[in-house]
Structure 1
Amino acid sequence: MGKGSVGKGSVGKGMGKLVAVLVAFLVVVAGMWGTIAALGWSPQLGLDLRGGVSITLVPAAGQAIDDEVLDQTVQIIRQRVDGLGVAEPEIARQGDTVLVQLPGVTDREQAEQVIGRTAQLQFRRVVEIIPPDDPAYADAGDACGQEVLVGPPPEDAEVVLCEGDVGEDGQALAPEERLKYRLGTVDLGGSDVTDAAAALDQGLGTQWLVNLELDGQGAQAFAAVTAELACEPPGAATRQFAVVLDGVVESAPTMSDNVVCGTGITGGSAVITTGGEDEARELALVLRTGALPIQLEFATSQSVSPTLGSASLTAGLQAGFIGLVLVALYLLALYRGIGLAAIAELAAFGAMVYGLIIVLGNTVGFTLTLAGIAGIIVSIGIAADSSIIYRERYRDEIRAGRTVRTAADAAFTSAFRTNLTGNTVSFLAAGVLYILAVGPVRGFAFTLGLSTLIDTLLFATFTRSLFGLIARSPKLATSRLMGLRADVVTPTLVDDAPAQPERSERGSGDASRVDRGANR
């Protein structure tokens, strides 16, 4: 065997390695999709594709806020949303604004009630109850829920308008018929509550309650207050203990005659009477997660129709499919046979990207948004660009006098450096965008970065192996299949040392230069 040549054994060994890499890649992809099919997984769609509720909250005016308070607010809202059972919500800060995205939620009013409620809980003694026919009623404040002073109240006593009182027949009272309460100081607060759970009153069977568990300090304070209230005359307003939530008296239960004066209610438990089951569960949730440190106002609140989301998803998928078809046709027209290999590479790229999006959605909670689909569509161009770079490098190597096999190997080395450099820049840009951006833009950055990583991995494994096997096959490595003119090269599996094209005055064309170089 002449110097600089490679025997058939080396060729066979090289093909075996390429086959092994290609098979391993296909096994991984098949295993991923087999798992997806077996578990019945599907992509987790975001708000713009699935429909749902989008809420923007801003702090009410006149409040002292800082980053710590806002971060605490976001954390409490996240706990409340988790309690609603919303799949893959997105809660994020944009400066002083809190953006809440709730995919799949259809009841916007319920979402607003749970998320935006401050849930400042207070337990306060009732000093006096002001009925609607009392002359002092009109002076007690006009706005429901507003705390105002009334007449010459006792020291630190305040009045709270009760929003949810009911008459003796159980019917809700009109605003002008509701009772107003003159209340004493705060004896217990929401910070004393360790747990809250909605339950059906076992005695009435139709009344829903919220059972509260108090911490040690709260239990002692509750026992001390109820011990004093039990000493008040039966039927007196001062025997009642008001439960105030966000400035509204939710209930004002009277001490039972069974409560012993001077002993009170021990055990660290309390009860709030509510309306229906939904109200009880929502109240228990907001009390369990704690009060918001600041009062929030709704800047925007809108519902996204599932039909509109489905139309957006269909449009995005159609755009991606059309892009793939156009790129495939271009590659086929430009590179003929090896264009088919490029199409196979794009198909493998799509299978990897879409499969990983499904896996990530069902394992770590990644949601696919319309912006994410845009990132995938952009990445199609990145993947196609990698294929084009490889094939153009390959053509350059053939024109430089290499055989098909050595041209394929040399072209990969050069093209991979270019691929790695370009994809590194794209990945870093996507990473910076993901860190700095919020909302849907992060979805674009994530899918773009993920697709860039997959493209590099695919190029180093699937693309190299597939193209290398074609170049090493006598039946496949024909000039027409490899996208070359028939007079450019006659492929061979025996790889001589790369030759430099000779120059002659009369020149005999590319084919003669390659032949002389190969026979040197």
Structure 2
Amino acid sequence: MLRFSRAKIITTLAAILIGLMLAVPSFFTPEQRKGFVASLPSWFPTWIVPTRGIVLGLDLQGGSQLLLEVDQNELIASQAKALRDDVRRTLQQENVRADGGIGLLQRGVQVKVADDAARAKILPKLQELSLPITSAIGQTAARTLDITEQPGGVIRLTLTDAGITDRTRRAVSQGIEVIRRRLDSTGTTEPSIQQQGADRILIQVPGEQNPERLEKLLGSTAKLEFRMLADSPSGDVDMLPSKDEKGAKVPVERRVMADGGELTDAQPAFDQQSHEPMVSFKFNLRGAQRFGQATSENVGRRMAIVLDNEVVSAPVIRSAITGGSGQITGNFTVQQANDLSVLLRAGALPAKFTVVERRVVGPGLGRDSIQAGKLATLVAAGLVVCFMFATYGTFGFIANIALMVHVGLILGLMSVLEATMTLPGIAGIVLTIGTAVDSNVLIYERMREESHAGRSLISALQAGFDRAFATIIDSNSTMAIAALILFFLGSGPVKGFAVVFILGILTTVITAVTLTRMMIAVWYKTFRPKALPF
């Protein structure tokens, strides 16, 4: 009971000290933190000074929230077009001619191969386009395509429901990463990006009060393509709207010379002649080669710069461009040029996302929530402190010290984990205050029972910790299971509550058991009492 190894004492105190140090920056503004670091002597290693504070959530700081949803119709249409290109390429590789071309269906394509020998030759190759669907537990029996033969030599390739669901899942996963890169490029502070359901992404940007710009920045697919203008609207062309000519459509060849996936950089700039905002870009090696070959083969023709199926400009190729860089002009404003460069650097979204919900929380409401949360926390903590001190005297004072350390460790862990503090998170802290002292109550009441049973003080203290420990672990494990269920099945505020509650359960073991035990050992060695102080 009274003996602690030196290693255990050092480890426990060091962990508590580091946790409390990590919590300190959360009580100061970012400007105050930067000012403190700047005021340190030049010889002082600033890397040991914690500067990261807890990030306040949307409900505490105010900001914008968007809920994006995958456009299923657009996703299916895009998949069908990609499938058509794959079928065309397969036919060309096998030297098989399609009778009447490749027909585009609502959820797939069909191709007619009247010759029996040619159809028997191409069918196994088309079967290879149907890929198995993999899940978290491995490969499944489901496939991406359903390939059937129809009367008259028609082969129909249809997207399966499982394939569409899998593509939607991957689109959401990839979309989260693209959106994160876009927000990081704008310097946004700690955005929250979470998947919600099977086909939605919830985005919360604290401090952002312009949801329209945020919607344009995140809702745009940013699919950049370099294609040649066609001489006539007939043939293998697409009629795309023109940014310069409102309401007009221009014929653009379907063949893509280069695309935005081959860019290495994009920056806003100004045209040296017209002084209008524009975007300059650079290709990687493969993109530079493709772009150089395309421009050298089409000198004198107009190249369409297509962004999200809209022709933003169509300059005439005066000479081959082999340097791997270029410019995009199109009557942009400065803000539009900045946003477009951000979109191109972050990459294109894997699918079209539509905004299904837009919400703005004013900073005034956030301040009111913070004040209400502070008041609730102080009242709860004050009542608990008074109760513990009135009921258990000196041991209650020890429990209160452990309780303050407990709250500090929660804040420190939230800082290092970059967790976001929300209003439900404050409720979680208030709840963990009660659960933390509950562990002390179990220990102290067990000590009282052992003392009344005639044990000596040292034996009662030892038995109190030993026999209450199993109960504490059981109760905290039960709460941890419930919190984990909330974390994995909940979303938004529910997850915020679960994170704080889980951290509170972890710190309870350190403070209510280990730290309290060490302080009681110091109390016993110092005062050598004969009975419990309560």
TM range (shorter): 0.7 to 0.9
- Equivalent residue for 2:433? 380
Distance 2:308 2:327 in 1: 17
Match in the other structure for 1:329: 386
**Residues 50-59 or 180-189, more deviating:** 180-189
The aligned residue for residue 467 of structure 1 is 520
* Contact 1:192–1:214 (CA under 8 A) maintained in structure 2: no
1:285 to 314, 326, 342: 342
Written as runs of structure 1 = structure 2, the 5 A alignment for 1:256-275 is 256=318, 259=319, 264-274=320-330, 275=332
- Do residues 247 (structure 1) and 309 (structure 2) align? yes
- Matched ranges for 1:177-192 at <5 A: 180-191=249-260
On the 8 A contact 1:18/1:465 being kept in 2, the answer is: no
Residue aligning to 1:134: none
Q: Which has the higher strand share?
A: 2
Measure the CA separation in 1 of the matches of 2:409 and 2:530.
Answer: 28
C-alpha deviations, 1:230-278, integer Å up to 9, x for none? Answer: 34xxxxxxx322211112221121233xx2xxxx322332321141332
2:68 aligned partner: 57
Which residue, out of 203, 224, 230, partners 1:121?
224
**Counterpart of 2:131?**
none
Residue identity in the other structure for 1:288: R
Structure-2 change in CA distance of 1:357 and 1:475 (3 Å): same
Cα separation, 2, equivalents of 1:287 and 1:337? 64
- Per-residue CA deviation, residues 278-313 of structure 1 (Å, 9 max, x unaligned), is 222221222222222211110001122222122212
Q: What is the aligned partner in structure 1 of residue 172 from structure 2?
A: 70
* Distance in 2 between residues matched to 1:194 and 1:400, nearest whole Å: 78
Q: Distance in 2 between matches of 1:355 and 1:157?
A: 59
What corresponds to 1:404 in structure 2? 457
**How do 1:364-375 and structure 2 match up within 5 A?**
364-375=417-428
Give the match for residue 45 of structure 1: 56
Structure 2 counterparts to residues 69-468 of structure 1, below 5 A: 69-94=171-196, 95-127=198-230, 153-164=233-244, 175=246, 180-191=249-260, 193-201=262-270, 203-204=272-273, 206-231=275-300, 239-256=301-318, 259=319, 264-274=320-330, 275-358=332-415, 360=416, 364-468=417-521
CA separation of 1:240 and 1:42: change in aligned 2, threshold 3 A: same
Of 194-203 and 369-378, more deviation after overlay is shown by 194-203
* Paired letter, 2:474: T
Query: What's the Cα RMSD here?
Result: 2.8
> Which string of whole-angstrom CA distances, capped at 9 and with x for unpartnered residues, describes residues 372-395 of structure 1?
222211111111111111111011
Alignment CA distance shift 1:96-1:20 (3 Å):
closer
What secondary structure, in the 3-state scheme, does the structure 2 residue paired with 1:294 have?
Answer: coil
Opposite residue 239 of structure 2, the aligned amino acid is: V
Residue 493 of structure 1: aligned partner: none
Tell me, what secondary structure is at the counterpart of 1:456?
A: helix
8 Å Cα contact 1:352-1:454 kept in structure 2: yes
Output the amino acid matched with 2:322.
T
Write the letter of the residue equivalent to 1:374.
A
The change in CA–CA distance for 1:290 and 1:31 in structure 2 (over 3 A counts) is: closer
State the alpha-carbon separation in 2 of the partners of residues 319 and 343 from structure 1: 18
Are residues 69 and 43 of structure 1, via their aligned partners in 2, closer, same or farther at CA, if it must alter by over 3 Å?
Answer: closer
Deviation at 1:210, TM superposition (A): 1.9
Per-residue deviation, residues 453-473 of structure 1 (Å, max 9, x unmatched): 111111332211223444455
Q: C-alpha offsets along residues 69-111 of structure 1, whole Å, 9 cap, x if unaligned? A: 3222222222222222222222221221111122222322221
Instruction: Mark the runs of 5 or more structure 1 residues left unpaired by the alignment.
Output: 1-13, 129-151, 166-174, 232-238, 484-520
The separation in 2 between residues aligned to 1:285 and 1:462, in whole angstroms, is 50
Identical residues among aligned pairs (%): 31
When the two structures are superposed, what TM-score results if normalisation uses the length of structure 2? 0.71
Structure possessing the higher radius of gyration over alpha carbons? 1
Distance verdict in 2 for CA 1:338–1:18, change over 3 Å: farther
- For residues 342 and 225 of structure 1, the distance between their equivalents in structure 2, rounded to whole angstroms, comes to 75
What is the rounded CA distance, in whole Å, between the counterparts of 1:414 and 1:16 in structure 2?
Answer: 18
Aligned partner letter, 1:433:
L
| Aligned mates of 1:478, 1:467 — CA distance in 2 | 13
Aligned partners of 2:200, 2:251: CA distance in 1, in Å?
Answer: 36
Q: What SS does the corresponding residue of 2:282 show, helix, strand or coil?
A: strand
Alpha-carbon spacing, 1:100–1:375, altered in 2? closer, same or farther (3 Å): same
3-state DSSP of counterpart to 1:292: coil
In 1: Cα distance, 2:445 partner to 2:279 partner: 72
Change (3 A) 1:88 1:19: same
Partner Cα separation in structure 2 for residue 388 and residue 342 of structure 1: 9
| Cα displacement (A) at 1:474 | 4.5
- Contact 1:405-1:468 within 8 A present in 2 as well: no
TM-score (norm 1): 0.73
Q: Tell me the secondary structure at the aligned position of residue 209 of structure 1.
A: strand
> Is the partner of 1:42 in helix, strand or coil?
coil
Structure 1 CA distance for aligned equivalents of residues 8 and 529 of structure 2? 19
Alignment partner, residue 42 of structure 2 = none
Structure 1 residues 476 and 41, CA, compared in 2 at 3 Å: closer, same or farther? farther
How many Å apart are 1:414 and its aligned residue?
0.9
Distance 1:431 1:255, change over 3 A: same
Give how far 1:322 is off. 0.9
Deviation at 1:26, TM superposition (A): 5.1
Instruction: Answer whether contact 1:222 1:268 (CA < 8 A) is retained.
Output: yes
- CA change 1:255–1:390 in 2 (3 A) is same
Cα distance, 1:365 vs structure 2: 2.1
**How many residues align structurally?**
417
